[in-house]
Amino acid sequence: MAIFHVTEGETWAAAARAGSYRMSTRGATLDEVGFIHASTQEQLPAVAGFLYSDASESLVVLELDDEAITTAGVPLRWEDGGDGELFPHIYGAIDPAWVVAVSPAGFDERGRFGWSG
């Protein structure tokens, strides 16, 4: 099953060049939080709206292969986001090899989030 993560396009491009993505969420690193926030496809629009509705930078959605993550020995846990809904949390840096697709993303004139994935 695929899981998803939204981030700034430049942040992802730099991480892909470096060989490791270490941002947990907007403005917070893996080292600060302890894991990288991810979402299901259904959860992603609400998460993106919460985190990036005011973003001026270009955004991308990373589609991640959850099996590749766990095969690499990185823990992937489904944990309560605070309201009883379970979200995938990646307890390690993202290897670009686990990224199945990188899709441009953003908000339309009505504030709805979408991506071309």
Mean pLDDT taken over the chain: 95
CA 117 to CA 21: how far, in whole Å? Answer: 20
Residue 117 pLDDT > 70, yes or no?
no
pLDDT for position 23 = 97
Strands (E), the chain: 2-8, 23-25, 28-29, 36-37, 59-65, 76-80, 86-90, 99-107, 113-115
Residue 116 pLDDT > 90, yes or no?
no
pLDDT for position 81 = 85
φ, ψ of residue 100 to 5 degrees: the values are -80, -35
Query: What is the pLDDT averaged over residues 2-15?
Result: 97
Query: What is the pLDDT averaged over residues 88-99?
Result: 98
Query: What is the pLDDT averaged over residues 9-31?
Result: 96
Among the listed residues 87, 98, 75, the one whose alpha carbon sits nearest the alpha carbon of residue 15 = 98
Site of tokens 């496809």: 41
Give all domains of the chain, ordered by start, each with its CATH number.
2-109 (3.20.170.20)
From residue 41, give the alpha-carbon distance in Å to each of 62, 91, 100, 113: 11, 20, 14, 12
CA 40 to CA 69: how far, in whole Å? Answer: 15
Residue 44 pLDDT > 80, yes or no?
yes
Query: What is the pLDDT averaged over residues 43-70?
Result: 95
- Per-residue pLDDT band for 91 (boundaries 50, 70, 90) equals very high
Task: State the first-to-last Cα distance of the chain, in angstroms, to the nearest integer.
Answer: 15
